[in-house]
Structure 1
Amino acid sequence: MGHTIRDIATALGAEAEGNLDLIVTHAAEPAGAGPDALALAMDPRYAEGLARGAARAAMLWQGADWRAMGLQAAIFAPRGRLAMAGLSRIFDPGPEIAPGIHPLTVIDPTAELAEGAAVGPFVTIGRGVRIGPRARIASHVSIAEGAVIGADALILQGARIGARVRIGDRVICHPGAVIGADGFSFVTPEKSGVEEIRETLGERAEIRAQSWVRIHSLGSVSIGDDVEIGANSTIDRGTIRDTSVGSGSKLDNLVHVGHNVQVGRDCLLCGQVGIAGSSRIGDRVVLGGQVGVSDNIFVGDDVVAGGATKIRTNAPAGRVLLGDPAVKMETQIEIQKAMRRLPRMAATVAELQKAVSNKGQSD
């Protein structure tokens, strides 16, 4: 089922020209676009591909001469990636989850499913679970006792929702995510070698045998509204209070949020980010891929950390960080420049040492 150029432009709040009743069924790259596709060429660099394709309509940059490109219609996107967000929403059919409750599912009699909720096959829903209106639960999901799923939530294949987890409205949980596993929290009967090293910054009085005693997780996890949790990501339950993720935050695949962590609103946590226990992340924080955050520290609002940065101490609001250990990005760039000069500097020092040594021998 297609959409007219007029309807797409209206939905995007964008300008359009040409045959606005032209129907397109999908989006495509310019060179591979057929007559029923909307070609995506929001930058002049992609205009060349239109000549190799067969598109009749395209999404173009402001001011583009669409007639000269042989098109019948055009939509003008002042901000390409933002237009892509709306366009992808229009054309995405979403997962196929049939309305109602699939017969191959197990639901505790005390669970409450609101009007319009849909549950796929091989799902287990535990005691006292509450699922909000129009929430959709795909196959092989398990939802443990006391969990709450908000309105219009989408829980995809194989996700695991632990006991008493609270998930807000319009949350998307991708396949294989685990929300509400126990935190990784252990203690030794006597002061452990790890505690001693942290106090002394590396020294140990003696090395002795030690064993670990488990600290159980009595809290759970609270997820705000409009949160997205990537595939195979994990959010551990808190020890006493809930681990929490604020509304609007987005977690990529393979992100780990440790026990007691508090993630603020509208944060962006990219792939393989790891946040250790009891740390606090402010609002609108962006952590690039493989960023690590040490335990029991605070990362302030609007901090941006580049990929593979390791944040070991508190980070003030608004700071842009890079490197291991994390420093200001401009400082890290200077460090990298200096490191590239090290071989040449070492050779220069060796020459100077040789010259000084020869001079000493001649004297």
Structure 2
Amino acid sequence: MTRSVTIGELARALDARSWGDAALPVIGAAEPAATSPVGPDGGVIALAMAPKYAEALKPGSMAILAEGMDPEAYGLKAAIFAPRPRLLMAGLTRAFDAGPDIAPGIHPTAVVDASAVIGADTAIGPFVVIGPGVRIGAGARIGPHVSVGRNARIGDQALIHAGARIAHGVHAGDRLIVQSGAVIGGDGFSFVTPEESGIEEIRRTLGAREDIRQQHWTRIHSLGGVELGHDVEIGANATIDRGTIRATRVGDGTKIDNLVMLGHNVVVGRDCLLCSQVGVAGSSRIGDRVVLAGQVGVNDNIEIGDDVIAGGATKIFTRVPSGRVILGNPAVKMETQMEIQKAMRRLPRFAQQLAKLQETVTRLLEKA
């Protein structure tokens, strides 16, 4: 069934100002070029926060515009204004996102242990496996082929997409979102050798090898769990390892993108953004409101302060103070990295100038 609200209702829900016919039904969202004149059953609304986007709007359509733009200039029938259009777009997409189709109740093919406690108004899809001692909060929606291990705790209003894996002892707060293929609570990658390993040796000697010998790795088992705060989101095929003794922890409001890897004992603070292919090695601590762009790597056992922003592909090997913006491999202040990049681009010219200078000096020496 198509969802429909009027322009006026949508504007009030988004705490924004409307223009034009407030009774027009809105049945969805589209890009500006995909709009069409509003029909008897309503139409789609587009985000057009700048004139270059608004030029693609079709006459007779509806749009979200930035304050100061003129809807009449684009022939619109209705518009919604917002000082921050992308924030308004978040509310708009939320209003029309029905999410995955998971029928209310527990599907007959699901396997739910008798000791599990399932909250009210839940929806559990086909072939879900829920282990002993599990607690699932009210209003949770769990897609097909999800597994939830022994004694896991999941809060209210969770949405767990098809094929996600939540291991034993994982504790999550309310409004958790887990995308398909994510694995939360796998064993940490932690091994030891009977004697000093080659890795330990080069850390001690900073690269010098004294004696290379055969080594056998012995697993250090992971007895800790994973603790996720409220409003945490985990992307597709992301992995969060359980702690060795204490839990791996992710704070309230943190959003983790696809293919992110958090090692054992890692602590991530509140309201962080960890973008795709970020890797955080074991026992590192990340502060609140930290942004790690795509392919950022974080060494083990280091600390990143609050409000740090790391640009794409940055490699972090040492402690980062709070509030710093960093870039590069190894990570340095962003302004320093920009100067390094400028200098590197000048190197070919410097090499040519140096070669000419050497030729001149050689000629002068020959004449002397």
> What range is the shorter-chain TM-score in?
over 0.9
The one-letter amino acid paired with 1:46 is Y
Q: How far off is 1:45 after superposition?
A: 1.4
The corresponding residue for 2:261 is 256
CA contact (8 A) 2:128 2:147 kept: yes
Note closer, same or farther for the CA distance 1:55–1:224 as it changes in structure 2 (3 Å cut).
farther
The corresponding residue for 1:31 is 33
Q: How far off is 1:63 after superposition?
A: 2.1
Q: How far off is 1:47 after superposition?
A: 2.0
Q: Which of residues 37, 54, 62 is equivalent to 1:57?
A: 62
Q: How far off is 1:29 after superposition?
A: 1.6
The corresponding residue for 2:247 is 242
SS of the counterpart of 1:345?
helix
TM-score, normalised on structure 2?
0.97
The farther-off stretch of 238-247 and 350-359 is: 350-359
The corresponding residue for 1:285 is 290
SS of the counterpart of 1:180?
strand
The one-letter amino acid paired with 2:218 is V
The corresponding residue for 1:128 is 133
The one-letter amino acid paired with 1:33 is T
- 1:5-55: CA deviations, max 9, x gaps? 0011011110011110011211112221122111321211112112xx254
The corresponding residue for 2:271 is 266
Aligned ranges for residues 294-309 of structure 1 at < 5 Å?
294-309=299-314
- 1:160-218: CA deviations, max 9, x gaps? 00011001100100000000000000011000111010111110111111111100000
CA contact (8 A) 1:38 1:55 kept: no
Aligned ranges for residues 178-327 of structure 1 at < 5 Å?
178-327=183-332
The one-letter amino acid paired with 2:151 is G
Runs of 4+ in 1 over 3 A off after TM superposition: none
Distance 1:341 1:79 in 2: 41
Alignment of 1:164 onto 2:169: yes
The one-letter amino acid paired with 2:33 is A
Name structure 2 gaps, 5 residues minimum. none
CA contact (8 A) 1:33 1:55 kept: no
The one-letter amino acid paired with 2:119 is A
Name structure 1 gaps, 5 residues minimum. none
Taking only the aligned residue pairs, the percentage that are identical comes to 63
Alignment of 1:177 onto 2:182: yes
Distance 2:60 2:240 in 1: 45
CA contact (8 A) 1:42 1:77 kept: no
Distance 1:295 1:110 in 2: 38
Distance 1:196 1:139 in 2: 47
CA contact (8 A) 1:309 1:325 kept: yes
RMSD, aligned CA = 0.9
Alignment of 1:45 onto 2:47: no
Alignment of 1:16 onto 2:21: no
CA contact (8 A) 2:241 2:248 kept: yes
Q: How far off is 1:354 after superposition?
A: 1.4
Note closer, same or farther for the CA distance 1:68–1:348 as it changes in structure 2 (3 Å cut).
closer
SS of the counterpart of 2:306?
coil
Q: How far off is 1:64 after superposition?
A: 2.0
Distance 2:353 2:35 in 1: 59
The one-letter amino acid paired with 1:40 is L
CA contact (8 A) 1:44 1:61 kept: no
Distance 1:195 1:113 in 2: 47
CA contact (8 A) 1:100 1:116 kept: yes
SS of the counterpart of 1:89?
helix
The farther-off stretch of 18-27 and 32-41 is: 32-41
Distance 1:124 1:113 in 2: 13
SS of the counterpart of 1:335?
helix
Distance 2:64 2:262 in 1: 39
The farther-off stretch of 243-252 and 67-76 is: 67-76
Aligned ranges for residues 114-153 of structure 1 at < 5 Å?
114-153=119-158
SS of the counterpart of 2:126?
coil
Question: What number of residue pairs does the alignment pair up?
Answer: 361
Distance 1:276 1:86 in 2: 35
